[in-house]
Amino acid sequence: MSALLKVENVTMRFGGLVAINDVSLSIDKGAVLAVIGPNGAGKSTLFNVVTGVYLPTSGRVTFDGAEITGRPSYDVVDRGIARTFQSSRLFSDLSVLDNVIIGMHTRTKTGVLRALFRPRSSRREMAACVERAERLLKLGSGDLFEQRYRPAGTLAQADRRRLEIARALASQPKLLLLDEPSVGMDDVETDALVADIERLRADNPELSVVLIEHDMRVVEAFPHHVTCIDYGSKIAEGDFAAVRRSARPGGLSREGGRPCLS
């Protein structure tokens, strides 16, 4: 099977700092890849390169058969890659529902003029967007749907993370990139997050997910493809057991939920 996403020999330098050093990885359709590594290892930078936030210093990114290296983010979303961010990027003053609807903008036709004059076709499109956004809010654990008219900024932390995922799904992605989705969640919420991702994959067997995680409980739940990055370089790859074995003394610790690699 040819890979859906291929990152080939990517290096990203910021001045003298090498944030990613010659990293290659790939993910097939329908697979889950967990990317782990200590703080500052280069994990989020990798997402930023894939999603066109940064043009890598060297290397190639290919998605769904086309090269996307350095393509602008709106084009990357349009091609089917959606992401969440490590720190919340929600519009806090807008409602939960509006935050999801905003995630649909690459799939809708209504522009500024149509929004102003509101022809029947735009009103129909808007009604369909609301219906689809409500469906997405009902998908996950928690009660986001009941909270849909609240400003997103008033949500509890776990609900904010869930809303970010719902917004990413609104663009109907083929590949979902989640940057530390369990941050700020307790054990019960983390288990619910794992169940949400499993349900999502069961409903969309072709959806691929790359997840950056510090919490080994989440990584263990999707144990087949794990890539470990340290100081910008890939230091281990394989299933969870193999990566744990090849980790340096100390192994992958569950204590404190952080991978311990030194």
| Assigned token pair, 76 | 């990357």
Report whether 33 contacts 227 (CB < 8 A): yes
Side-chain half-sphere CA neighbours of 153 within 13 A: 4
Q: Decide: is 14 part of the binding site for ligand ATP (CB under 6 A).
A: yes
Residues 226 and 260: their CA atoms lie apart, in Å, by: 15
Nearest to 218 by CA among 4, 35, 25: 35
41 binds ligand ATP (CB under 6 A): yes
The residue of the chain with the least Cβ separation from Mg ion equals: 44
45 binds Mg ion (CB under 5 A): no
Classify strands 208-212 and 175-179 as parallel, antiparallel or unpaired. parallel
Cβ-based nearer residue to ligand ATP, 36 or 163 = 36
21 lines the binding site for Mg ion (CB under 5 A): no
∠ CA 259-191-28, nearest 5°, is: 70
Spatial CA neighbour of 5 closest among 41, 30, 39: 30
* Stretch 143-182 residues interacting with ligand ATP (CB under 6 A): none
Identify the residue among 43, 83, 161, 162 touching ligand ATP (CB under 6 A). 43
Restricting to residues 67-106, name those near Mg ion by CB under 5 A.
86
Q: Which does 142 bind (CB under 5 to 8 A by kind): ligand ATP, Mg ion, none?
A: none
Q: How many residues interact with ligand ATP (rule CB under 6 A)?
A: 12
Token readout for 28 is: 């097939």
Of the candidates 21, 44, 110, 147, which one interacts with Mg ion according to CB under 5 A?
44
| Interaction of residue 253 with ligand ATP, rule CB under 6 A | no
- Tokens 């909270």 belong to 147
Q: Which of 7, 10, 19, 104 binds ligand ATP (CB under 6 A)?
A: 19
Q: Smallest distance, Å, CB 112 to ligand ATP? A: 31
Contact residues for ligand ATP, defined by CB under 6 A: 14, 17, 19, 37, 39-45, 86
